[in-house]
Structure 1
């Protein structure tokens, strides 16, 4: 829904979830913090996951929001692996990168403004600018009379 990369998903921290505002901060190395606003559709499963996480691993000290049985009990506190994100998706014939790109492209089809993509997904201006002509190819074709 929020088109977070697998890297972003793996490195989400419990402390970055603000329950009072229903927001999630996404920290990206060398980039500004991106704030994700969680509507009820996204926030409900987040709350359910937190309850399940506590039920399964009540004593875990892992700072990460996503956990597996390996990372919950590992004293070095690593984030989950890329496979932990991708394996459930592959079982349904999906790929995280393609889902991300499709979600951003879908949003770009409903806007002509790359600033919307930057705000919603935390994209760089350069990346946002690539999605607009991809979403509206009929608008970006050169005029044969002018060329």
Structure 2
């Protein structure tokens, strides 16, 4: 199944309506940087490089993907980092995104999928849809699978799926897999 874009008005104003700094950061990580819920759950505090305004995304069996943070995302990350420091100053959680439960749990679990999904769903968004929409939008403008691979850390086959969805008139069946 090919990805389909979200309606243009779907994203408008969402950031202003998310009161929690963690939820605003999560929204931008999905909608701008196309990070999946899984990616977000496993981000570590050490993955955020303040010197270079980058975020390392570690994916099992894949090379580390570096996300170059725009000014908005970096500002939201800094705002979020101030919040857990104030609320749970003794937390030892290594994760970037935490909740009241995960910040105080000595076993140091990652934040739950629901902690990321629920606030966004309350505003009519699914992180997976935000991610797909962002990649599809980039594919419409770039028409280069290597660009998608570098920008989002996609597998080649996934990048080609988005290129085909964005430019169906230029797509031909793959002679090897047909």
TM-score (norm 2): 0.78
Residue in 1 that maps onto 2:165: 134
Q: Any unmatched runs of 5+ in structure 2?
A: 1-31, 174-178
Equivalent residue for 2:146, pick from 93, 115, 138 = 115
Count of paired positions: 142
4+ residue segments displaced more than 4 Å: none
CA RMSD of aligned residues (A): 1.0
Equivalent residue for 1:17, pick from 44, 48, 51 = 48
User: Within 2, Cα distance between the matches of 1:86 and 1:140?
Assistant: 34
If asked which structure has higher relative contact order (CA below 8 Å, sep 6+), I would say 2
User: Within 1, Cα distance between the matches of 2:55 and 2:35?
Assistant: 11
Over alpha carbons, which structure has the higher Rg? 1
Q: Any unmatched runs of 5+ in structure 1?
A: 143-147
Residue 78 (structure 1) shift: 0.2
